[in-house]
Amino acid sequence: MSREDSPETIRESKKLLDKDFPMKDYKFSKIVAFPPDLVSLVKYSEGSLHAYHRVEKVVYARSSTHIGDSLISYYPRGQAASLPMYGSIQYIYSIEGEVRFAVRRHKPASVSFDPFARFPYFPAKLYQSRMDELEIVGIDGVIGHFARWQFTDDLVVVLPLLRD
């Protein structure tokens, strides 16, 4: 909706939505008790929890707020030399002003036939539907969003979305 090449009606709709549902300034978020699964991961019992976090014009959300905005590709431990991972943001939290994501990662599919392998310019891949344990992802390790489609009961198709 923020793109300059979006139709005028879409851009005007975004202006109305921004007025009705403004993004909060999280600098003044109140301190709350963290859920037990987050406490065991970050080793802090409290901090700030957020529904959304905006980085420039890109919005990230926890999965319970907006599933599409929670689907991120990222480098594990921020290491760009490793292969990107795909997961869903479960929590957006901040401790002492530093915002981080708690993410559940999709595990790679162990299939003998990859239906997308013969299309080298279509970067879709199969992953397991079941997700891994929570892990911490820093903002600087996030590459972008991805689209996800349920392929079978056990598999999903993951397609990275490119930023302009």
163 pLDDT higher than 80: no
| Mean pLDDT across 44-72 | 94
Q: Is residue 13 part of a domain?
A: no
| Global confidence as pTM | 0.80
The answer to whether 158 and 131 have CB atoms below 8 angstroms apart is no
The answer to whether 53 and 60 have CB atoms below 8 angstroms apart is yes
24 pLDDT higher than 60: no
Q: Is residue 102 part of a domain?
A: yes
Number of domains in the chain: 1
Q: Is residue 85 part of a domain?
A: yes
Q: Is residue 153 part of a domain?
A: yes
Q: What's the CATH number where 43 sits?
A: 2.30.30
148 pLDDT higher than 50: yes
Q: Is residue 93 part of a domain?
A: yes
Other CB atoms within 10 Å distance of the CB of residue 113: 6
Q: Is residue 14 part of a domain?
A: no
Q: Which pLDDT score is estimated for 25?
A: 47
The tokens describing 40, both together, are 């065991």
138 pLDDT higher than 90: yes
DSSP three-state, residue 13: helix
4 pLDDT higher than 70: no
- Residues of the domain holding 48: 27-160
Q: Is residue 70 part of a domain?
A: yes
Q: Is residue 107 part of a domain?
A: yes
Residues above pLDDT 70, as percent of the chain: 83
The tokens describing 91, both together, are 């929590």
Q: Which pLDDT score is estimated for 21?
A: 53
